[in-house]
Structure 1
Amino acid sequence: MVDLELGTLPKGRGPQLSYRLDRAVLGGGRDLKVPGSNTILDVAGLGDGVLATTLTADGSGELLKLNSAGAVVRRTPRIYTLVSASDQAAAAYASDAPLVDGQMTYGATLYSERGGSVQSVELPDVRSIKVMAYANGQVYYSASVKGSEKVAKLYSWRPGSSSRLVKTVPAPLAISPDGKLASSLPATGSDAGCSTVRGVTTGDRLFQSCEQTIGGFTPDGSVAIGTPANTDGNCAISVAALNVRSGAVIRQWRGCFYRVVAEDNDNLLMVALVSGGGQAPFSKSVLVRCAISTGACERATEITAAKEVDFAR
């Protein structure tokens, strides 16, 4: 276990992935600002521009498409969830059913956008949809369906065809960037709270961890990213890199972490709390890069007082 002393970490290169400091989208060749004052839910890169989901004044979602200069070129209503492909040449996003008299209804629309072309599929019996990955030309999403609302299931959709249920992965948590692996929670049984990593196509179980919640993978799928399963607070007290075949911990870092993603096959980027916490007005955080091979860490950004620090999806 490596204890991070954030004040003494050396300064390294900037993040190679896009990230967000409040309304500014930086890194990965981007430097623009999401206009307006609506709450930002997520951002994702698409080509040399950005997609951003926001909450409007009436509480409904809206997708903004920004060009490379930061100008809004399109608005799409009722979009709450989005994700981009690893090469950011394509993105997927979805609208969910509206509330009627305070009650959730059914009906979602799933979109794929590539090269300025948008395709969509209507999902009339779906609610609580969340797009999870865009890999190998397929969009992976979780959703509850009519008659089976208690557990969200995993589905895949190749634009131009119908969506299908991925029966091998119950209660999905994360999909690897290449779409070959997934982490999930058990739908039922005595292993509630334990994460299982398995092959998406075969359903073969690689490992299960009841200590770590597996929330991501490196691009080559060789390493799983875990945070404590029993996290009870605003941040995770550690981040672990685990061998995806055995579940053995390769490296583990201790601190207070809000977000973690794989920058490449050997480096993790983490949003680490420096001081304060939660929504405290004087909280400070920093993006840290840690190498899986050596355990060494460095600051990828300067310490910031931004209230919202997150990575593009």
Structure 2
Amino acid sequence: MRHTNRRLVIIVAAIAVAAVATGGALAYRQGPRTAATADAAPLSSSPTTPMTTEPTKTSATPKPSTPSTSTPAGPVKTKIDLQKLTTGRAPQVAYLAGRTIRGGAGGDVKVPGNAQIQEVARLRSSALAVVTKGYGTEMLTIDSGGKVTRRTPDVTQIATTEDSTAAAYVATQLKDTGEDLPGATVYAESDSIHKVTVPGIWNTTLLGYLNGKVYFDASTTQEGTSTLYEWTPGQPAATLVKPIPKAMAVSSVGTAGSLTTLSDQNSCSSLLTVPTGKRLWRTCDYQIVGFTPDGATAIAGPIYQDGYGNGIAAVLDAKKGTLLHEWSGVFRQWVPEDDEHLLLLADTGEGTAASIVRCTISTGACELATPLAKGELLIGA
């Protein structure tokens, strides 16, 4: 696990289960080939029988060319069989294969050294990589020729803008024993680097760099309820957005996924407006963990998640909260490639061959974006 780890640890501390995180970038909008549709076949043997009591409500669903008198099908649930998927184009966002950063704008860049790589991203012509250093971490800035041009200590998480022309990253310090220390430093880098230090906060989770603002979630006590923060680079302080508790994700259209109910028996997510906290809808079937770049689709995971990978990934209509599609398998990351496609880092368990899988939101069709193989594999920020 990579940038999903920090959010996962926070939720484990609260309810003894794990959680997730997200990211995304713009890509060429070509869907998986139709042959892949059969490889991710519906679990139901009767496609006209609703799988839930609520019909699909999305303008993205293809309409038949002639009027249909059959009962509308419910949201489709499919199971991904990695061995049967056909191969499509490579990911159009940054990703790590072995020790090489590929995808997105720019050529392949190898991360030097042998330290474990936690996160990767593209920033203009450079590549960014968070690597382990002792008990902690540092971020390497690597030029197109593979030379390390800067080392930023204690960085744990990265988020980039959709066009990869700016990046935000968070640094938190550890004791010599490996325990967390309070406080965080948040950076924003484009043509220049800005930073703000926020003392006395814990469990800082970077959520995105959107519309010129950096969003992160943190708590004022080590075991306390977290709250959303907003920071405009260049400003001397970050702003606490009190109406948004336990933020899991923030969208480009001013909404946030919030884990508003958290207990051993059940958990519920709500879509809230930023900054007012007005609830637009609620789901107790999924956790909202991300959004497509246009904010029209919410990416969701299961209510309860284990410590290695999650059993389902889903997409919901962000206007109404209705299920558009659900995939089952073992997923360690889910990142939107663009407004129409979701990338899933999938395998069948620890130590098994893995692939980045591309799924089309409107149809549910999936394909392999990277070859199914063992070795280091990671979707970038």
Q: Distance in 2 between matches of 1:102 and 1:93?
A: 20
TM-score, normalised to structure 1, is 0.89
Counterparts of residues 153-192 of structure 1 (less than 5 Å): 153-161=227-235, 162-176=237-251, 178=252, 180-186=254-260
Q: CA deviation at 1:8?
A: 2.3
- Answer yes or no: is the 8 Å Cα contact 1:81–1:95 preserved in 2: yes
Answer yes or no: is 1:207 the counterpart of 2:281.
yes
Task: Tell me what 2:321 maps to.
Answer: 247
Q: CA deviation at 1:190?
A: 9.8
Task: Tell me what 2:91 maps to.
Answer: 15
- Answer yes or no: is the 8 Å Cα contact 2:261–2:267 preserved in 1: no
Match among 42, 46, 53 for residue 130 of structure 2: 53
Answer yes or no: is 1:6 the counterpart of 2:82.
yes
Task: Tell me what 2:160 maps to.
Answer: 84
Answer yes or no: is 1:119 the counterpart of 2:194.
yes
For the residue of structure 1 that corresponds to 2:233, the secondary structure is coil
Q: CA deviation at 1:100?
A: 6.4
Q: CA deviation at 1:172?
A: 0.9
Q: CA deviation at 1:3?
A: 2.1
Q: CA deviation at 1:73?
A: 0.3
Q: Which has the larger radius of gyration?
A: 2
Q: Distance in 1 between matches of 2:233 and 2:180?
A: 27
TM-score, normalised to structure 2, is 0.74
* Structure 1 runs not aligned, ≥5 long: none
* Structure 2 runs not aligned, ≥5 long: 1-76
Counterparts of residues 252-271 of structure 1 (less than 5 Å): 252-271=326-345
- Answer yes or no: is the 8 Å Cα contact 1:284–1:303 preserved in 2: yes
The answer to which of 195-204 and 214-223 deviates more is 195-204
User: Aligned-residue CA RMSD in angstroms?
Assistant: 2.1
- Answer yes or no: is the 8 Å Cα contact 1:91–1:114 preserved in 2: yes
The answer to which of 102-111 and 235-244 deviates more is 102-111
Q: Distance in 2 between matches of 1:254 and 1:149?
A: 32
Q: Distance in 2 between matches of 1:302 and 1:103?
A: 38
Q: CA deviation at 1:101?
A: 6.5
Task: Tell me what 1:131 maps to.
Answer: 206
Letter in 1 for 2:378: D
- Answer yes or no: is the 8 Å Cα contact 1:154–1:171 preserved in 2: yes
Answer yes or no: is 1:272 the counterpart of 2:340.
no
Task: Tell me what 1:300 maps to.
Answer: 369
Q: Distance in 1 between matches of 2:113 and 2:367?
A: 33
Decide whether aligned partners of structure 1 residues 189 and 297 sit closer, same or farther in structure 2, where only a CA change above 3 A counts: closer
Whichever structure has more strand as a proportion of its residues is: 1
Task: Tell me what 2:145 maps to.
Answer: 69
Q: CA deviation at 1:125?
A: 2.3
Alignment length, in residue pairs? Answer: 303
Higher relative contact order (CA 8 A, sep 6+): 2
Decide whether aligned partners of structure 1 residues 52 and 293 sit closer, same or farther in structure 2, where only a CA change above 3 A counts: same
Decide whether aligned partners of structure 1 residues 101 and 236 sit closer, same or farther in structure 2, where only a CA change above 3 A counts: closer
Decide whether aligned partners of structure 1 residues 11 and 189 sit closer, same or farther in structure 2, where only a CA change above 3 A counts: closer
Q: Distance in 2 between matches of 1:258 and 1:189?
A: 23
Decide whether aligned partners of structure 1 residues 179 and 163 sit closer, same or farther in structure 2, where only a CA change above 3 A counts: farther
Letter in 1 for 2:203: S
Task: Tell me what 1:24 maps to.
Answer: 100
- Answer yes or no: is the 8 Å Cα contact 1:225–1:240 preserved in 2: yes
Kindly provide the CA deviation profile for residues 16-66 of structure 1, in whole angstroms up to 9, marking residues without a partner as x: 11111232211113411111111222112111211111111x212211101
Task: Tell me what 1:39 maps to.
Answer: 116
Decide whether aligned partners of structure 1 residues 300 and 127 sit closer, same or farther in structure 2, where only a CA change above 3 A counts: same
Answer yes or no: is 1:311 the counterpart of 2:375.
no
